[in-house]
Amino acid sequence: MSATVNFLRDTIHNFVEPNEKFELQQLLSKLSDPWDSVYDGRTSEDSREACVRADLQILRDQGFLTFLDNDGTYFVNSKTSTKPSWGEEERELELQRMKNAHDLGLIPLPKGIGIEVVGYPQLLRKDQIIDHEEATKLGLLQYQQKREGNDADMNRVESIKESRKKDGYLLGAAPLPAVSKLKPRDGSIITEPIRGSDGKIKTHVLENGRHRFVGEDEEYFRCQEIDSEHQDFLDLYGTTANNPFGAHEAVGVTTEKDSIAASRMWIQKGRIIVIDGEDNQNLQKVCKFLLDNYPHINNRIVTARQILALEGVPCSIKGYYQKDVKKWVFGITNIPIEHDWDNKIARFTFILNSSTTMDRYLREVEKFQVEYPDFEIEIYASLDNTPSSRNEEVTPENINKLRRKQRELFEDSGDLNVNYANLKRYGKLKPIKFVFVPQDNKNENYNSLY
C-alpha cells in the first residue's frame, strides 16, 4: 500500500467517526493546510488533489469507504474503520514527519531546570512506558504523576480525542509529552528496564502528558525523551511542564497547589534547607524557588509561609489578609465584622504596621466618628510582616510593642481633621477598642484575643 493511501486513511480516521459521512472539501482542507511531506513528489495543487481522489478510490475498493454520490460525498464503513496496528512503513513515515517538523523548529521543546532533550521525537509503544497507573500497580510511587492530585480529568481526555479527530495530531501546538529512559542515574530507584504488571518489558517512564497518554487510542505514543544527571530534576520537571506556555495552555496549567506540593518535595529532598527560627532566610529560599519554577503563581510570600508551616517550620509571625482576620474573629466570637447599626457599634478590619495603608485607615475611622460620634468603634487587626510593605519587622520580642504603637497612632490622630479634633477635645468621642489576632506562633494561643 502506498504511503499516501496510508496517510489518507489515517487522516480520515482522525476526524470522521465510523458510520458518518464527510465531504471532499472537508478532507482537502485537512490535508492542504499545509500539505504533508508525503505529497512532496507532486509539485502542483491539481496533482496533489488528483492523488487524493485516486487514493479515495483505493480505500473504497478496500471497503474502508462508500461513495454516496459522484459529487464528493463519502461514508466511513464501520467494519473496516478501526485503525489497524501501525506497520513499519507507517511508523517510519510518522517519525519522518516529526523529524521534519523538529528540524524546521515547529515542535516546541520541553523545558525544565536540570533536564536536557535527547535527540528527535520518538514513537514508543505505549506498553513499554510506565505511566501513573502502571507505577501504582508496581508500587513505584517515585514514578507516579508529580502534580497535585492523582485523578485524570476524563472530560479533558475526551476533549483531546475530539480535537485529534477534528484536526489530527498538531505537532506545533505544545511540547510533546516527555518520557525518560530507565537507566543508571543518581537518585533513581530503577536503573534498568523492568517487567511490568502486564508481563511486558518497560523501558521508559512518562514524566508528563498523562491526559494525552490516556487519550491516545493507537498502540504507539508520540513523545520526546528527556534526561538528567539526577532523578530529582526529572521529578521537578513533572511539576513544571504545565506552566503557562505561550498562548496554547488554556487548561491544565500548573496550579498553586501544584507549586506547594513541589516545593515541599524539594524541601524534603534537602534541595532547600530550612532552619527553625530563621524566618527571613527561609522565606527568601522558598520564594526564590517559586520564582524560578512557578513565576506565574501570585502572592509568593503567602504561599511560602504556607509551605513552611506544612513542613513544620512555620514563620514565627503568622500573616493574615483582611478576610482571614474577619474569618478568625467570627470563628472565635461568632460576631460578624460589620457595622451594627441597631446597637451603634462600628467594626473595622485593618492590616496595620504599614505606612502605605495607615493614613487611609486613620482617615476612614475619623470620618466615621465625625458622622456618628455616638457609635462605639471596634478595630480588629493584624500586623503586616511582609518585607516589601511592613514598617518594621514583627518578632515575638516586639509584637506587643508594635501593637501598642498602632493604638497610639489612632489615639494621637486628628491633626488634619478639625471637626474630629474638636469632638475629641471636648470628650464627645468614645474610646476605640482594639482586638489583635494571634500572630506569635511560639507564644500565643490561636483561640485567644489580644
Domain ranges for the chain, please list them.
Answer: 3-83, 90-241, 257-310, 322-436
Answer yes or no: pTM beyond 0.85.
no
Q: Own/partner pairs for 164-171, CB < 8 Å, 24+ apart?
A: 164/14, 164/215, 165/14, 165/15, 165/16, 165/17, 166/15, 167/15, 167/30, 168/11, 168/14, 168/15, 168/30, 169/14, 169/222, 171/97, 171/98, 171/101, 171/106, 171/107, 171/121, 171/222
C-alpha cell at 123: 514513537
Kindly report, residue by residue over 47-89, the tens digit of the pLDDT.
888 888 888 888 887 778 877 777 788 888 765 444 456 778 8
| 341 CB-near residues (< 8 Å, 6+ apart) | none
Percent of the chain with pLDDT over 90: 36
Q: Is the pLDDT of residue 151 over 80?
A: no
Between 87 and 109, the more confident residue is 109
pLDDT tens column, 155-209: 777 877 787 777 777 787 788 999 999 999 999 989 999 999 888 899 999 999 8
**Which band of pLDDT confidence, cut at 50, 70 and 90, is reported for residue 245?**
low
Percent of the chain with pLDDT over 70: 94
Strands, E assignment, 77-193: 116-125, 129-130, 178-181
Rg (CA), the chain: 32
8 A C-beta contact, residue 15 and residue 29: no
* CATH class of the region 3-83: mainly alpha
- Per the prediction, the chain carries an average pLDDT of 86
pLDDT digits (tens, 9 = 90+) for 386-411: 887 889 989 889 999 999 999 988 87
Classify residue 209 by burial, with Cβ atoms within 10 Å: 0-12, 13-18, 19+: buried
